[in-house]
Amino acid sequence: MRFAIRHTGCNAERVGILTGFTRLPNASIETPSAALLTQSGSVAHLTAEVLAKVFSNPQLVWVPLSNSAHLETGLKAQGESLAKFIGLSESVTCATLHCMNDITPPGHFEVDMVPVWTKHGKKMINAERYMELMEVFKPDILLAIADSRTTLTDGLKRNTKAVDRTCNMLNICVKKYKASNYLKNSLLVGVIAGTGTMSKCKNCIQNILTYREAIGGVALAGLTDGTEESLNIGIDKLEDIFKDINKALPNDLVKFIDGCWSPDVVVTAIQYGWDIFDGSYPAKLTNAGHALALNFDVNQATTELCLLDLNDAKYKEDFRPVLEGCQCLSCKKHTRAYICHLLNTREMLASVLLSIHNLHHFDQMFVHARNNIASNTFVIYKNHIVNQYMEYKQMQDKAKENVEKPESESEQAKKKICVSNEPVEA
């Protein structure tokens, strides 16, 4: 695997290209980019046939063990590769431990073991077992096993344990990786844990960097456990972390970020040199019945919010596409009214059409990011995206306030009635 940086912008943002995958010699992944999140090996709601209608070039698919460990028996029988087994032979596969859209409950650790929360309950897994599974999965890229699901509000004690455990497990992963005939040709990614305590986090980075010859990339974790609170930590705090940790890393590593981050966070991370994102965000939008509708043209004023809640009955007779001008299959053929109807009737096609749009549109955000980096206009683009998202957030907060107020008033009214009724009933 080769990673070449083609252009670095005014800050640390950069355009790169991943090539030389042993299984797919002709495939290339341009960065910055987002992977496609899978569930049981399939991109959620999309068959290989439909996915091919959305993307013509090879994509990076993200395969969390927490939702795909049950593929082991079949994969073993097949003996070739994960990509072929899941019907996505032309895609580059990246295996990892957790699905970023799931909330990881705290605790449940054992010495040198981490819990994986699957549909069939909790499974304890150590580095040996993880690498044994990787040997069966045969991914093109693998993230090392780590104690990675902590948040920025976790304290020193928790982060110390997270880093110790992560370092120990990485040591085993590297050993197994080097010893494996298949895996040593794939890209091994070290995972940065304990991010809530910078000194500990730096220890984790140091340990990763002792394996420079084996490790081709790093993944920044330890930021979120999947809860809303951890994801809403605020862009300022995250910005500092993206900046500091990037500075502590050599330039030639591919830099991944784990987590279901909204567009404002993603473009901020890109500005500080982060290359690959896990793709859980568009999947989360789809599951909520939301459609992403960012305006990528910095010269054009935005007229609508950048997120549409198509569950809303106001779209019932809206025969426009989700996003005017969008070139995705859903927007070229279908309307907001139709998707609204499909959501209302709980039809599976709603998720299919939303997935198509959200994955296409999220990918377009990266296409435009790369173009803007190449033309040294990235900061303008970044601010354009951040502003749109902020506007949406503000509107949402306002809407929440409006909803909460009358509710509390009516509750008060109820209480009053209760109080006044009491003596009568008594």
Partner 1 sequence: MAFKTPSLSFFVQAECKTTRARSGVMKLPHYSVKTPVFMPVGTQGTMKGLLPEQLEDLDCEIILGNTYHLGNRPGTDVLEKAGGLHKFMSWKRALLTDSGGFQMVSLLKLAEITEEGVKFKSPYDNSEIMLTPEKSIEIQNCIGADIIMQLDDVVQTTYQDYNRIKEATERTSRWLDRCLKAHKRPSEQNIFPIVQGLLNGELREKSAREHMTKNVNGFAIGGLSGGESKDEFWPMVHLSTGVLDKYRPRYLMGVGMAIDLVVCVALGVDMFDCVFPTRTARFGCALTSKGQLNLKQKKYSMDLNPIDKDCNCSTCKTYTRAYLHCIVTMETVACHLLSVHNIAFQMRLMQKMRENIENGTFPEFVHNFVNELYSNGNIPCWVINSLKSVGIHI
E strand or H helix at 143: strand 141-143
State which of residues 24, 94, 235, 342 lies at the interface with partner 1 (CB under 8 A). Answer: 342
Nearer to partner 1, 64 or 222 (CB): 64
Considering the rule CB under 8 A, would residue 48 count as an interface residue with partner 1? yes
User: Residues 44, 83, 100, 294: which binds partner 1 (CB under 8 A)?
Assistant: 44
Question: Considering beta carbons, is residue 39 or 168 the nearer one to partner 1?
Answer: 39
Distance separating alpha carbons of residues 88 and 76, to the nearest angstrom:
17
Instruction: Report the alpha-carbon distance of residue 329 to residue 198 in Å, rounded.
Output: 45
Does position 17 interact with partner 1 (CB under 8 A)? The reply is no
51 near 61, Cβ under 8 Å? no
Instruction: Give the nearest distance from C-beta 412 to partner 1 in angstroms.
Output: 30
Is 140 in contact with 187 (CB distance < 8 Å)? yes
CA 174, 180, 181, 185 torsion: positive or negative? negative
Measured from the CB atom, the residue of 175 and 284 that comes closer to partner 1 is 284
Distances (CA, A) of 173 to 135, 166, 218, 280, 419: 11, 10, 14, 25, 66
CA dist 43 and 38 (Å) reads: 4
Q: Rule CB under 8 A: is residue 351 a binding residue for partner 1? A: yes
For the CB of residue 415, give the shortest distance to partner 1 in the complex, in Å.
Answer: 30
- Binding segment for partner 1 (CB under 8 A), chosen from 249-257, 296-304, 348-356, 403-411, is 348-356
Contact with partner 1 (CB under 8 A): which of 8, 78, 168, 302? Answer: 78
Task: Indicate whether 344 belongs to the interface with partner 1 (CB under 8 A).
Answer: yes
Is residue 85 a contact residue for partner 1 (CB under 8 A)?
A: yes
Q: If binding is defined by CB under 8 A, does position 138 make contact with partner 1? A: no
Locus of tokens 């950069």: 14
Interface ranges with partner 1 (CB under 8 A): 39-50, 53, 70-71, 73-74, 76-78, 85-87, 119, 316-317, 319, 329, 333-335, 337-338, 341-342, 344-345, 347-349, 351-352
